[in-house]
Amino acid sequence: MKRILTKLNKAFDHRVRLGIMSVLVVNDWVDFTFLKDTLELTDGRLASHIKALEKVKYLEVRKRFVGRKPNTSYRVTEKGRQAFQAHLDALEELLKQSK
Amino acid sequence: MTPTNREHLATLSEIRSLMERSSRFISLSGLSGVAAGLWALVGAAAAFVYLGKVPFDGRYHTFVDVGQWGVPPVVFFAINASLVLVLALFSGIYFTTRKARRNGQPIWGQLTRRLLWSLAVPLAVGGLFSLAMIRMGMVLLVAPATLVFYGLALLNASKYTLHDIRYLGMTEMGLGLIAAFWPGYGLEFWAIGFGLAHIFYGTAMYMKYERKL
């Protein structure tokens, strides 16, 4: 039991971060507004969690202009995808063991 | 079940729902399909009356060049097809925005754009291809070709919306291929593919996703 618990990733401690990753793994570039609307978060809260995930290189950032508006999009990195998958596997394992 | 387990389970189902909601446009309403099918049947019925012909009587070409009510065939079919298309689009948009609003989902966004784009490309190619066939005098293959291209468009778009659309796409392609090898029944297959198939799948999708809401 303890062994599996340690497999749960610290970077995903927060529900919001899991949410961000869930959206990113099934999409290509996703922009900030879409993430905000899907997860129903405020700008500030979303930005801080994105920053945390960016720091551990689970997602990459692309800033560009669409027309005259600045547009920031995010994409999951290979490292992030593996970490997310491992985290899900660990969660499932936990559930299976306790049945 | 322990409280932490319940939490893990909730987390997993939340993740699954987020993945689904963020990658597919799920507001597509079955009623959109039913309405499109009804308009298509009305259009097909008008065409049968215009041609003075009974479905599956096999006399396809006899009246095509003559025209009825002082309206030449090209004009009649152009008006008929555009009316069906416009009415189907409008009722489709109506029922789908209604469903999205009821479920509190965004109507216009990244997902909608992606869905429309994936539909539009095969449809535009199919439309131009059909025009080329009319110009080259292969009128018999126009109805089969539109069904096949429409089926391909649906198959393509099914990645971005409810996957039931995939089966509708395969039905349309199948009908198109049958029609291609059994010429002279273009209008009949059109009525089945754009009319009956839409009503059938639309009703099935409505029963499956919306009735309980």
- Residues on chain B touching A39 (C-beta within 8 angstroms): 18
- Cβ proximity of B133 and B139 under 8 Å: yes
The second-level CATH assignment, the architecture, of A2-97 is Orthogonal Bundle (1.10)
CA distance B82 to B114: 25
CA–CA separation, B119 and B190 (whole Å): 19
**Across all residues in chain B, what is the average pLDDT?**
86
pLDDT in tens, A6-56: 566 777 778 889 899 999 998 888 889 888 888 888 999 999 999 999 999
CB pairs under 8 A between A and B: 49
**Is 80 exceeded by the pLDDT of residue B142?**
yes
Band of pLDDT at residue B59, cut at 50, 70 and 90: low
Report chain B residues whose CB lies below 8 A from the CB of A19. Answer: 14-15, 18
Domain count for chain B, please give it. 1
Q: Is residue B11 a part of any domain in this protein?
A: no
HEC letters along chain B? CCHHHHHHHHHHHHHHHHHHHHHCECCCCHHHHHHHHHHHHHHHHHHHHHHCCCCCCCCCCCCCCCCECCECHHHHHHHHHHHHHHHHHHHHHHHHHHHHHHCCCCCCCHHHHHHHHHHHHHHHHHHHHHHHHHHCCCHHHHHHHHHHHHHHHHHHHHHHECCHHHHHHHHHHHHHHHHHHCCCCHHHHHHHHHHHHHHHHHHHHHHHHHCCC
Secondary structure element (H or E) that encloses residue A99, with its range: none
Q: pLDDT confidence of B66, banded at 50, 70, 90?
A: low
Report how far residue B205's alpha carbon sits from residue B31's, in angstroms, rounded to the nearest whole number: 8
Q: Do A22 and B23 touch (CB under 8 A)?
A: no
Q: Is residue B206 part of a domain?
A: yes
B195 lies in some domain: yes
Q: Which residues of B touch A34 (CB under 8 A)?
A: 22, 109-110
Mind spelling out the 3-state secondary structure of A3-64? HHHHHCCHHHCCHHHHHHHHHHHCCCCEEHHHHHHHHCCCHHHHHHHHHHHHHCCCEEEEEE
ipTM above 0.90, yes or no: no
Residues of A with CB under 8 A from a CB of B: 15, 18-19, 22-23, 25-27, 30-31, 34, 37-39, 88, 91-92, 94-95, 98
Interface of B with A (CB under 8 A): 1-2, 5, 8-9, 11-12, 14-15, 18-19, 21-23, 106, 109-110
Would B199 be classed as within a structural domain? yes
- Predicted local confidence at residue B111, as pLDDT: 83
What range defines the domain where residue B172 resides? Answer: 28-210
pLDDT digits (tens, 9 = 90+) for B143-176: 999 999 999 999 999 988 888 999 999 999 999 9
- Residue B76's nearest CA partner among B40, B47, B42 is B47
Judge whether B13 lies within some domain: no
